[in-house]
Amino acid sequence: MKTKIFVLRAVFVLFGFFILSAEVFGQYNSPVRHKTLLGGTFGELRGTHFHAGIDFKPSKQGYEGDPILSIQDGYVARIKTQRGGYGRAVYINHPNGQTSVYGHLSTLSHDIEKLLKAYQMEKESYEVDLNLRPDQLPVKKGYVMGTMGNAGRSFGSHLHFEIRDTKTDVALHPSDFGFKHYDTQAPTIVSLGIHGLLPDFHSRSYYSVHNFSKTDKQNVTEIRLPAWSCGISLSAFDTHNGAHNKNGYYQAKLYVDDTLYYQIKMDKISYDEGPLIKSFVDYPLRKKKNKTEALLFQLPANQTLPIKYVHKNGVFQVSNSKASRIRVEVSDHEGNTSYAHLHIKRSDSIVEPQIQRIFDQYLKVEESYEKLNLNQLVLDVKPYSFARNQYFVAKMTTESPKCIKIGDKNEALLKSLDVCIPISEESISDKTVLTQRDGNTILAFKGSYQNGMWCTSISALGDYCFSTDTIAPTISVSANLKKLVGVKNLSATLYDNMSHRRSFTYKVFIDNTFVPCVYRELNRRLTIPIGQLSKGMHTVSIQCVDDVGNKSAWRNNILIP
């Protein structure tokens, strides 16, 4: 009888093992134990970057705590913690020359946490980037490195997962290695942009087309374009079975009269190319209407890996005697494909640029402009700083307050631009910053004074004004410090009036000992662990310093009953 019970128990244990084990994808296991559902796909066109991985949804809506597993043997090569970005991320190098990345983790394993905390204590910073030797933390396939969470710049619990080439750090499409979501649904083509183009890729005209034939190649809409040259842009998304979110597509092709003119495929992405997304999409459209369309023609600065084929820069000529037959194909990784058909014919009258251009200098994309003097402003412009040639303006606009204009705010700046502005030394201080308003955010750029000029480096074109930042970051703790029964964490809100290039630093001390504490940029919330403190009185202090040296501090005693 005992033997039968033992056998039955063994069967149930073995059965349970298979139920809890991750799916197997070729040489790799899944990083989660539950059914694969994706909330984000590789290559999606995010605001400031290409999405370099896939996002695994949790086992239950909004749930944090699903175990995250190493997909293969290897060693923990890197542990990175940030207030934004991936929050808590673990990088594992594998013997085959690939690296797997796991982001937004809620908790970390004891072994990882121990190494991380020691390094954070050494640096007196929560935000660290720790690189490990191969012998420090080797792991096996299925090693639980932590749990799924919502850390960093994340809007809900999920796992951001990547596979990279270890040597080049180029991100590879995880679906090529079997990490897939069941999908029989073709992508949706939302709209096509029709661009009447000048030779330098500036627009004569633009039309957004929503009503186009998806299947019928004969009865298609004909567009009359008031331009000799044309380029197409694309807005599309993909959906998967069992999930309602709109994901990115895998591949898009543009055909003109059955000739392939342009092809993009999201199979690999280089992190160095992140800023080039501004040349990959219609940047002015995004700035003006908050709409994202991928360009199916190549701007001069766009040298991104997703471009697989280009014919005549993807730009085609239009005739007023015979319509050009346009076909756009959009596919997901499984080969499900959608089509859009249009006819484009040149109209009898050609539209000249609607705005009479007034500019100081015409800047070419591939050229370098060092010590460029425009209206007393001195600029250093690196090659390929712009997506296309610029009708460039740089000038003072007002004296009180002192404001300047540097280029067109609706044009993409791909590299930082150095600018020096004439100003008297008496009118500036070490708190002087150049500011630009971006929605409700004030972007601030610190500079230095030299030879009668105040110099800084900016990351976007547009209008700027001098300001003096004398306001220290604010620290707000709303908890009742006399009633902390059962409280595991003390919360504080940290906020700075300006968004500096290097965000303010913060430190937390308990009883004069540094404690690494998570600060989340999205909700400005600092979390201070107090659940492990011994009973009695303890002193908690928070220190903040912004980029120009403004300091603030909060210090109080808390009673642990």
The whole-number average pLDDT for the span 200-228 is 88
Q: Which among 129, 368, 420, 385 is positioned nearest to 278, based on CA atoms?
A: 385
Residue 327 and residue 439 in one domain: no
Residue 299 and residue 366 in one domain: no
pLDDT at position 10 is 40
pLDDT digits (tens, 9 = 90+) for 68-83: 999 999 999 999 999 9
In this structure, is residue 227 part of a structural domain? Answer: yes
Residue 194 and residue 335 in one domain: yes
Question: Across all residues in the chain, what is the average pLDDT?
Answer: 91
In the chain, the percentage of residues whose pLDDT exceeds 70 is 94
The whole-number average pLDDT for the span 345-372 is 86
Which range marks the domain in which residue 168 is found? 24-177
pLDDT at position 447 is 94
Annotate 276-314 with b (16+ C-beta within 10 A) or e (fewer): bbbbbbbbbbbbeeebbbbbbbbbbbbebbbeeebbebb
User: Is the pLDDT reported for residue 4 higher than 90?
Assistant: no
Identify which has the larger pLDDT, 23 or 156: 156
The whole-number average pLDDT for the span 29-43 is 92
In this structure, is residue 3 part of a structural domain? Answer: no
Residue 151 and residue 102 in one domain: yes
- Cβ proximity of 278 and 292 under 8 Å: no
pLDDT at position 349 is 83
pLDDT at position 375 is 95
Mean pLDDT is lowest, of 183-197, 274-288, 465-479, 481-495, for 481-495
User: Is the pLDDT reported for residue 533 higher than 50?
Assistant: yes
* CATH number of residue 450's parent domain: 2.60.220.30
pLDDT digits (tens, 9 = 90+) for 263-291: 999 999 998 888 999 999 999 999 999 99
Mean pLDDT is lowest, of 24-38, 120-134, 538-552, for 24-38
In this structure, is residue 34 part of a structural domain? Answer: yes
Residue 457 and residue 495 in one domain: no
Mean pLDDT is lowest, of 218-227, 292-301, 359-368, for 218-227
In this structure, is residue 352 part of a structural domain? Answer: no
Residue 315 and residue 394 in one domain: no
Residue 553 and residue 478 in one domain: yes
pLDDT at position 12 is 34
Say whether 155 sits in a helix, a strand or coil: coil
Instruction: Report residue 373 as tokens.
Output: 């003097």
Alpha-carbon distance of 538 to 189, in angstroms, equals 60
In this structure, is residue 14 part of a structural domain? Answer: no
Mean pLDDT is lowest, of 95-104, 118-127, 485-494, for 485-494
- Predicted confidence band at 20 (pLDDT cuts at 50, 70, 90)? very low
Alpha-carbon distance of 521 to 543, in angstroms, equals 16
110: CB partners within 8 A, 6+ apart: none
The residue written with tokens 């290409």 in the block is 50
pLDDT at position 109 is 97
The whole-number average pLDDT for the span 305-331 is 96
Annotate 254-269 with b (16+ C-beta within 10 A) or e (fewer): bbbeeebbbbbbbbbb
Residue after which a domain boundary falls, among 420, 448, 468: 468
pLDDT at position 27 is 83
Residue 376 and residue 446 in one domain: yes
In DSSP terms, which residues pair with 553 in a beta bridge? 543
In the chain, the percentage of residues whose pLDDT exceeds 90 is 76
Residue 158 and residue 55 in one domain: yes
pLDDT at position 316 is 98
pLDDT at position 17 is 35
In this structure, is residue 249 part of a structural domain? Answer: yes
* CATH number of residue 29's parent domain: 2.70.70.10
Residue after which a domain boundary falls, among 440, 468, 496: 468
In this structure, is residue 1 part of a structural domain? Answer: no
Alpha-carbon distance of 106 to 152, in angstroms, equals 10
Residue 533 and residue 439 in one domain: no
pLDDT at position 483 is 73
In DSSP terms, which residues pair with 341 in a beta bridge? 213, 327
Residue 218 and residue 329 in one domain: yes
The residue written with tokens 């007393």 in the block is 376
Residue after which a domain boundary falls, among 303, 320, 346: 346
* CATH number of residue 531's parent domain: 2.60.40.10
User: Is the pLDDT reported for residue 190 higher than 60?
Assistant: yes
pLDDT at position 25 is 63
pLDDT at position 401 is 87
Mean pLDDT is lowest, of 123-127, 275-279, 331-335, 498-502, for 498-502
Domain tally for the chain?
4
User: Is the pLDDT reported for residue 21 higher than 60?
Assistant: no
- Predicted confidence band at 65 (pLDDT cuts at 50, 70, 90)? very high
Residue 58 and residue 168 in one domain: yes
User: Is the pLDDT reported for residue 2 higher than 70?
Assistant: no
In this structure, is residue 201 part of a structural domain? Answer: yes
User: Is the pLDDT reported for residue 47 higher than 50?
Assistant: yes
pLDDT digits (tens, 9 = 90+) for 405-459: 999 999 999 999 999 999 998 989 999 999 998 878 889 999 999 889 999 999 9
Q: Tell me the pTM.
A: 0.91
